[in-house]
Amino acid sequence: VSGAPLAIIAGSGSIPVEVAEAARAAGRRVFAALLSGAARAEDFAAFDSQTFGLGQFGALKTAFEGRGIAEVVFIGGLVRPGLADIKPDFGAVRHIGAVIEAFRKGDDGLLSGILAIFESQGFRIVDPLAVAPALGADRTGPLGRVKARGEAGAEIAEGLAVIKALSPFDVGQAVVVESGRPVAIEGAEGTDGLLARVAEMRRSGRLQRDGGGVLVKAPKLGQDMRVDRPTIGPATIRAVAEAGLKGIGVVMNGVLIAEKAKTLALADELGVFIEATP
């Protein structure tokens, strides 16, 4: 609801504060709930904010209710916690069984379990791109000045097909396609690890020096679009260039772009394309 207060449960990275700024620019009163060890308080100095440990669901709920908050955005990075990292407060204790159950089900399961707890308490989880659409790939075609050429279009399609095929599994949403075949698929190592591996295969000669290739990032089929969206940013552009890839294929409205202006300028500078498909 435009104008209604909004809570942002913030993990690491620049995206949470960007979403907070976009929400405020759209006329919303923002409360930033910073996850301890992930979000930095100084980044949110301009916002009403408070830091919470994992498990302080009772305190979080009290803070939200005191501000009349019904809508919540989950955004930013969070290293998958161990069960021991979660110190439940009094308000969280009754949900502990559900959290333990969720932990058994991998990242997807953990996240859905936590969202279900918030929803059971009357909060609505909002897609960050609904709050800040300009932070995504908000149109199709090349987002910067560099265009995808030659086989890149077919390779993006191949990468999207791999991500689609892996949708039933709780596994990465990124793949590198080169010379017409997938050469690296993201697992628990994350996109940084994936791109470092491609760079290493390039150095060792396992991938050809001038192979080109593309990084494809897209949400899985059936993914909860309100959380855990694939993200790219300046570090992705640099790693793509270092891995000897020609560019990045994304899906329109499917990924978040951290520091978008900087990311696109860097992509132009390094000759990396960012191509959004419908």
Q: Which of 188, 203, 221, 269 binds a copy of itself (CB under 8 A)?
A: 188
Q: Which of 5, 77, 153, 193 binds a copy of itself (CB under 8 A)?
A: 193
Smallest gap, in angstroms, from Cβ of residue 236 to a copy of itself? 18
Residue 87 and residue 96: Cα distance in Å, rounded? Answer: 10
Query: What number of chain residues touch a copy of itself (CB under 8 A)?
Result: 37
Closest of 216, 9, 233, 252 to residue 111, by C-alpha: 9
DSSP letter for each residue of 6-36: EEEEE-BSSHHHHHHHHHHHTT--EEEEEET
Q: Which of 187, 221, 269, 271 binds a copy of itself (CB under 8 A)?
A: 187
Closest of 240, 232, 229 to residue 262, by C-alpha: 232
Closest of 129, 160, 143, 147 to residue 231, by C-alpha: 129
Find tokens 């760079």 and name the residue: 199
- Confirm or reject binding of residue 169 to a copy of itself (CB under 8 A): yes
Map residues 93-122 to x or -, x wherever contact with a copy of itself holds by CB under 8 A: -----------xxxxx--------------
Which of 7/111 has CB closer to a copy of itself? 111
Q: Which residues bind a copy of itself (CB under 8 A)?
A: 79-80, 82, 104-108, 158, 161-162, 165-166, 168-172, 176, 179-190, 193, 197, 201, 206-208
